[in-house]
Amino acid sequence: MSVQPTTPSRLSGVMSIAPDLAMPVSIPLLDFNHIQQSEFEFSRALEQSFAVKRQNALRERAESSSQIKDIEDARQNTMLRKNLLEEKMRTLIEAGHNKKLELEQSRDAIANYNARKSELVKKYDQLQSEISEVVSRIGKRKEVLASQKQTYIHQISLVEPEILMWENTLGLTIDTTVEGQLEFIFWNIDQSDLERKFEITIDISGAETKALKTNPALEKNIVDGILTDFNKTEKLEVFLTCLRAEFVKLTLH
């Protein structure tokens, strides 16, 4: 782009259009000291503002940090309380479980005790019934023994002359060693020793008379046969005669 030189004709045209611009302009002088002072004061004010804002920011940061710390402490306390509550809850649950087990065990023990008690009561009642039955049997047995004793006393009284004859002539002693038992002692049997004793002990407590022992020993089947005949006939003289005869046979061997 080319620059056209300014000619007087063109300047005159411009001056005619803006005559005020052609007048001389006065430019004021600048006060640099004032400007520097203003810049210094502005800078100081700006630095003070920044310092205040920085202090406020630091204070707010410290407050925020303190709040954060308080929140963290509160959170830790809350977690601690939560853990304690959970531990207490576990302890309570365990205690409740143990109590439940103890209650169940107590119920089982009570049930077993009641069952055992019922069983013992039943056995006690049964035992009482058995005892009553045994007592009744013993009473009846005593009555039977008393009756048999009276019978034997009566029978002995009837044959008392025969017994006296046996005692005085043939040698015989009748003794009661134990209740319900009679012992017959013979002598004058062994011609080589007339004082030698021959004994038989019989049991008269039962329905039938039974031999308990003989001394010297006789064969069991022989004694049982003699007692069988005696239980049938109840003849004491025959019983004594047969026994004495068997003892005599022992001295002949």
**Minimum mean pLDDT among 4-18, 30-44, 163-177: which range?**
4-18
Q: In what order do the strands lie in the sheet with 181-186?
A: 172-175, 181-186, 198-203, 210-215
Q: How confident is the model at residue 105 (pLDDT cuts 50, 70, 90)?
A: confident
Out of 67-71, 146-150, 155-159, pick the least confident.
155-159
**Which residue in this structure is represented by tokens 């003794």?**
175
Omega prior to 24 cis, within 30 of 0: no
The single-letter DSSP state of residue 179 is T
- Tens of pLDDT, residues 188-226: 888 888 888 999 998 887 778 888 899 999 999 999 999
Q: What is the pLDDT of residue 219?
A: 92
Locate the DSSP E strands across the chain: 172-175, 181-186, 198-203, 210-215
**Nearest Cα to 156, choosing from 233, 212, 83, 237?**
237
Compute the distance between CA of residue 93 and CA of residue 91 in angstroms, rounded to an integer.
5
What are the residue boundaries of the structural domains of the chain, listed by start?
54-148, 159-252
Q: Which residue has the tokens 């009566």?
A: 154
Which position has the token pair 């531990």?
Answer: 87
| Residue 31 reports pLDDT greater than 70 | no
Q: Count Cβ neighbours within 10 Å for each residue of 97-136 and write b for 16 or more, e otherwise.
A: eeeeeeeeeeeeeeeeeeeeeeeeeeeeeeeeeeeeeeee
| Pairing status of strand 172-175 against strand 210-215 | unpaired
Question: Residue 29: what pLDDT?
Answer: 61
pLDDT in tens, 33-44: 777 777 778 888
Distance CA 249, CA 219 (A): 12
Paired residues of 174 in beta bridges: 184
CATH number of 159-252: 3.30.457.50
Residue 60 pLDDT greater than 50, yes or no:
yes
Contact present, 186 and 244 (Cβ < 8 Å): yes
